[in-house]
A and B are shown apart, each in its own frame.
Chain A
Amino acid sequence: MSSSSAALRDLQLDLENKANDLSKLQKGKPNRTLVLFIHYLLSKVSIEKQFCYFFPPDIAKNHQVRKKYTIQLGENELVLKELDLLKEDANVYKLIGPVLVKQDLAEANANVRKRIEYISAELYILKVQQRIQSLQAGKAKA
Chain B
Amino acid sequence: MASSRGGGSQQVIRTGDMEKMSLDQLKAVKEQADIEVNLLQDSLNNIRAATGRLENASAALHDLSLRPQGKKMLVPLTASLYVPGTLDDADKVLVDIGTGYFVEKTMAEGKDYCERKINLLKSNFDQLIEVASKKKTLADEAGLILQAKLKQSSPSS
Contacts and interface: CB of A to CB of B under 8 A. Distances in A.
Interface residues of B, number: 11
Given A82-B103, A86-B103, A93 B98 contact: no
Contacts of B82: none
B117 to A, nearest CB: 9
A95 B100 CA distance: 5
Contacts of A95: 100-102
Contacts of A91: 103-104
Interface residues of A, number: 18
B98 A79 contact: yes
Contacts of A112: 99, 101
A92 interface: yes
Contacts of B99: 75-76, 79, 112, 115
B97 interface: yes
A94 B101 CA distance: 5
B97 A79 contact: yes
A112 B105 CA distance: 19
B148 interface: no
Contacts of A96: 100
A90 interface: yes
7 contacts: A78-B98, A79-B99, A82-B103, A91-B104, A93-B101, A94-B101, A95-B102
